Amino acid sequence: MAYRHISKSTLCTYVIAATISSLLLAGCSDSNDNDNEQPASIVPMPMMEGPIPGDASLPGPFFPDQGYEKAEYFISGTAYSYTNVNELTPSGEWQVQEAEAAEYTTRIVVFRPTAKIDFNKTVVVEWLNVSAGADLGNDWMLAHTELMRSGYTWVGVSAQSRGVSALKTSNETRYAPLDHPGDSFSYSMFSQVAQLLRSKDDTGPLGSLDAETFLAAGESQSATRILTYVNALALIDRMFEGYLIHSRYYSSAPLSQTPQAEIIAPDIVRVRPDFEVPVMMFQTESDVVALESYLSRQPDSDYFRLWETAGTAHADYYITITTNSDTGTDPQVAAVFESKLFCDKPINMGPQHWLTNAAFAALNRWAVSGELPAKAERLTLEGSPVRLARDAYGIALGGIRTSYVNAPMATLSGEGNSSESFGFCNRLFGTTKLFDAQTLAALYGDNSTYVSKVNVATDEAVALGFLLEKDAVLIKAYAAQSDVFGDQPE
């Protein structure tokens, strides 16, 4: 397919459709008696160029033989920065208005089912993470097995200037057209990408796929942007049917920043309680204490779920290594072993990827059918300064439980690592410490008892809604062929 621009007539059609959609949404709202509610905005329809020939620059897994195709598009338009109308309070009930306007050109990467019949009609739109200095689709890397086997379309958005700058540096020729005006405009850009995706034009980024549900997602640094987006813009732009806020810290990203006026979020930020759209918040051990997200805990509701997960770390072996080869069929992915990589101690080998799969599945059901996800116990805290409560084996108490912590062969923690050369180890990569033979003997006595306990813990996690059956099969298959008192399977 060749380069193309959306024609002026098509663009006018998009704008009219967007206007009608926004007016209908405003008229259908049942919350007009809420003093904090703002009228629905008319999100501008951006221009599109592409698919761009050649391969998009984006690290991470992609398996074309799994029935998916990959395409990259350049997206251009006029974005807006925002200023606050009321005080940015911890409750998240923020009111904002447009401040400055700026032209932009960014890119999106689209992974979509090749066959229309395989599409489940849900599009995951991920705010690409730039903590490492370039775009990364962290939620794609963690959950690609579930997203592909269940027929989602995934779209990665280069929403922030750091990611765009890295692209231009890495391939000056390919990415020469990109132009990012600064992160104050990122929220508006994200909404405009969603507006384009929601259009019904067969020549758009989704091709002939008939999408019905759009989920916004962001992990780590991107989670803080999605949290600010939810509190500031989601109620008025209304572009998504659900949100996954994954591994946020206690606060959220600035509403506006240099060179625009700096508008910083308060130290504690929660999801606004008047937002009647599903929001799933997923937190690892590292996030709860090391990143202090416990300060911003809030109760579950009809539109909010908080999942805190035991035995997990903000970053781990899976997202660093395993993701690039995992097609979702190999039981070996369930293995737990010690690998230091770039840290002083072996990094976390926990089940974050399995639980992220379940979170996406639960959020999608919630958005599509209204089925509420399971409520999860919070991780247990104690002491001053606050720390995670742990059992005699060093395993965190409370939170979502899997066989990794209820039938363990190691202490998996989101804390306790370090590195002189790689600063992220300290708070993000967690640790793995295998049990010695004496500990294993005390816990299980023999291998068949170990396998039985893995099966029971795994089935319980499935029954509670925290683990998907297809992933449970792999976990149990690995346990069945293992011998915790001897050699592990190759």
Give 396-418 as a DSSP string. BPBSB--HHHHS-SEEEESS---
DSSP, collapsed to helix, strand or coil, labels residue 171 as coil
382 forms bridges with which residues in the sheet? 387
For residues 155 and 139, the answer to whether their CB atoms sit within 8 Å is no
Pairing state of beta strands 96-113 and 68-84?
Answer: antiparallel
Distance of alpha carbon 407 from alpha carbon 106, whole angstroms = 46
For residue 205, say if its preceding peptide bond is cis, omega within 30 degrees of 0.
Answer: no
Please tell me the number of Cα atoms within 13 Å of 205 on its side-chain side: 30
Length of the chain: 490
Q: Kindly report the number of other CB atoms within 10 A of residue 387's CB atom.
A: 13
Pairing state of beta strands 47-49 and 68-84?
Answer: antiparallel
Distance of alpha carbon 374 from alpha carbon 307, whole angstroms = 9
411 forms bridges with which residues in the sheet? 433
Q: At what angle do helices 469-480 and 352-369 cross, to 10 degrees?
A: 160
Distance of alpha carbon 253 from alpha carbon 222, whole angstroms = 9
Q: What are phi and psi of 31, to 5 degrees?
A: -120, 30
For residues 248 and 283, the answer to whether their CB atoms sit within 8 Å is yes
DSSP, collapsed to helix, strand or coil, labels residue 194 as helix
pLDDT at 243: 98
CA 173 centroid distance within chain: 30
Closest CA relative to residue 157, chosen from 181, 176, 130: 130
For residues 116 and 76, the answer to whether their CB atoms sit within 8 Å is no
Q: 296-305: string of b/e by CB count within 10 Å (b at 16+)?
A: bbbeeeebbb
pLDDT at 38: 59
Closest CA relative to residue 5, chosen from 177, 211, 139: 177
Closest CA relative to residue 285, chosen from 200, 205, 169, 394: 394
Q: What are phi and psi of 441, to 5 degrees?
A: -65, -40
Closest CA relative to residue 189, chosen from 19, 310, 75: 75
The list of the chain residues with pLDDT below 70 reads 1-40, 487-490
pLDDT at 39: 62
Distances (CA, A) of 152 to 35, 73, 123, 196, 430: 37, 19, 6, 17, 30
- Residue 318 tokens read as 């899976």
Sequence-ordered list of residues with C-beta below 8 angstroms from that of 456, at least 6 positions apart, any chain: 407
3-state helix, strand, coil in the chain (%, to 5): 35, 20, 45
Distance of alpha carbon 319 from alpha carbon 424, whole angstroms = 14
Closest CA relative to residue 336, chosen from 438, 482, 470: 482
What's the CA dihedral at 95, 138, 46, 118 to 10 degrees?
-120
Distances (CA, A) of 110 to 51, 68, 158, 432: 10, 10, 12, 35
